Amino acid sequence: EVQLLESGGGFVQPGGSLRLSCAASGLTFSADAMSWVRQAPGKGLEWVSTISGSSGSIYYADSVKGRFTISRDNSKNTLFLQMNSLRADDTAVYYCAKLEGATMARNWFDPWGQGTLVTVSS
């Protein structure tokens, strides 16, 4: 069974930085593309970023491009999201998710971790 466990969330002031981690088990981590998806309090889901298994392909939402960096350590089965220049509208639960599908061009999110809350406020 695939398990994804996020950590690293917390309270940070605007302009600050935070690094999220997602520890994966039960999968061949290096073979799987991974993503971050966020959900602001009481709102819907927003895709944030995706990275291929080899880290050769990386995608970002425009809302985080230039501020967030996705990366992975396949030797430790861990996904990361480095978040810089944080803003109040980055406040959300951040979920990591494994991607399923035959190619990077066509894949969906399954399964999801339980999420970690990031609060950006002064």
Partner 1 sequence: EIVMTQSPATLSVSPGERATLSCRASQSVSSNLAWYQQKPGQAPRLLIYGASTRATGIPARFSGSGSGTEFILTISSLQSEDFAVYYCQQYNNWPRTFGQGTKVEIK
> Can you give the binding site for partner 1, defined by CB under 8 A?
35, 44-47, 50, 59, 61-62, 95, 100-101, 106-115
CB of 65 to partner 1, least distance (A): 10
Measured at the CA of 34, the angle between CA 59 and CA 113, to 5 degrees, comes to 130
Which residue lies nearer to partner 1 by CB, 16 or 104?
104
Measured at the CA of 19, the angle between CA 121 and CA 122, to 5 degrees, comes to 10
CB of 29 to partner 1, least distance (A): 19
CB of 82 to partner 1, least distance (A): 19
CB of 87 to partner 1, least distance (A): 18
Which residue lies nearer to partner 1 by CB, 80 or 109?
109
Which residue lies nearer to partner 1 by CB, 80 or 95?
95
Which residue lies nearer to partner 1 by CB, 106 or 122?
106
In the Cβ-directed half-sphere of 10, how many Cα atoms lie within 13 Å? 10
Neighbours of 44 (CB within 10 A): 6
